[in-house]
Amino acid sequence: MGMPVYATSLERTWDGLYKILCVLIFIFLMAPILVVIPLSFNVEPYFTFTEKMLSLDPDGFSLRWYDRLLSFGTVNPNAPRDLAWWSDVWSNATWVQVTKNSFLIGIASTLVATMLGTIAALGLSRPEMPHKGIIMAMLISPMIVPVIITATGLFFFYSQVGLANSYAGIILAHATIGIPFVVITVTATLVGFDHSLARAAASLGASPIRVFFKITLPLIMPGVLSGALFAFVASFDEVVMVLFIAGHDQQTIPRQMWNGIREQISPTILAAATILVLMSIMLLTVVELLRRRSERLRGVTSS
């Protein structure tokens, strides 16, 4: 939107400076991501741009590091790309195994976080709920407290109850950091929720469970799904919890990237990072679509 015709010169100057500041902030935030993507296509095993890449020479670009994602850890990485090779990749490739673990842990922890976070948000939305501020602060504390402190506490607790070095422990730990995202998004959705609809359904004889699944849940579903996506991303990107709680056979993609940086610096990490960036963009796109759908359902229009 342009400045109105009656704007003063000072206002126009500030508007220009404001736009420049926004562009600089955007570059500051996006530059590291934009640098990683082209480097993942480097034909050389370097983390810098080669002369061929800077001159846009096709010989300076390659998919070798993406192929490395599939072949690393296989029995015969140089075999022809036939069905037997793909079976080898699915069973033995290191990056494929950690991807399986990441999705298993991410999906399971998202389900737990979504269920518990939605129940908590519904309770906080009730007017008779006492001490809302204290309860809300406790629920979102994993988002505020440094992750390493939470991971350390969970490690000592899980060691006592036998959940350390187990998938159950990792899933519960990731659910802990995912619950605040669900609570915040569902609570924001419930702000515009018309509780008279639930009361009307109850007055017509509907049970509380039927009211929830037929009235409440469909209306707050965009917020629930948005919170679930945020919880999944938080779990998928988490490395500190895995470092403290997971065993050697429970590696995830961030943990494998951490190992690669410590033990063998390879552009394969950049290829994995590029795939994660693209996946994050798709998830954020879904979140934005759900946000707009939620606004339409609540009768809110963007100006």
Can you tell me the distance from the alpha carbon of 37 to that of 274, in angstroms, rounded to the nearest whole number? 5
Mean pLDDT of the chain: 85
> What's the N-to-C CA distance of the chain in angstroms?
11
Can you tell me the distance from the alpha carbon of 294 to that of 227, in angstroms, rounded to the nearest whole number? 13
Can you tell me the distance from the alpha carbon of 48 to that of 41, in angstroms, rounded to the nearest whole number? 11
> What pLDDT does 301 receive?
52
- Reported as a pLDDT band with limits 50, 70 and 90, residue 303 is very low
Report which of residues 289 and 174 the model is more confident about: 174
Report which of residues 220 and 293 the model is more confident about: 220
Stretch 281-291: mean pLDDT: 80
DSSP output for 228-251: HHHHHHHHHT--HHHHHH--TT--
Can you tell me the distance from the alpha carbon of 171 to that of 108, in angstroms, rounded to the nearest whole number? 6
CA distances (Å), 30 to each of 3, 24, 27, 74, 282, in order? 27, 10, 5, 35, 16
Please check the confidence at residue 270 and state whether its pLDDT lies above 50: yes
- Reported as a pLDDT band with limits 50, 70 and 90, residue 294 is low
Token look-up 């802990």 returns 176
Domains delineated in the chain:
1-32 (no CATH), 40-92 (no CATH), 95-297 (1.10.3720.10)
Nearest to 189 by CA among 136, 214, 225, 137: 225
**Residues near 93 by beta carbon (within 8 Å), at least 6 away in sequence:** 69, 70, 71, 72, 73, 74
State percent of the chain over pLDDT 70. Answer: 94
Can you tell me the distance from the alpha carbon of 129 to that of 178, in angstroms, rounded to the nearest whole number? 23
DSSP output for 6-47: T--HHHHHHHHHHHHHHHHHHHHHHHHHHHHHHHTTBSSS-S
Can you tell me the distance from the alpha carbon of 256 to that of 233, in angstroms, rounded to the nearest whole number? 17
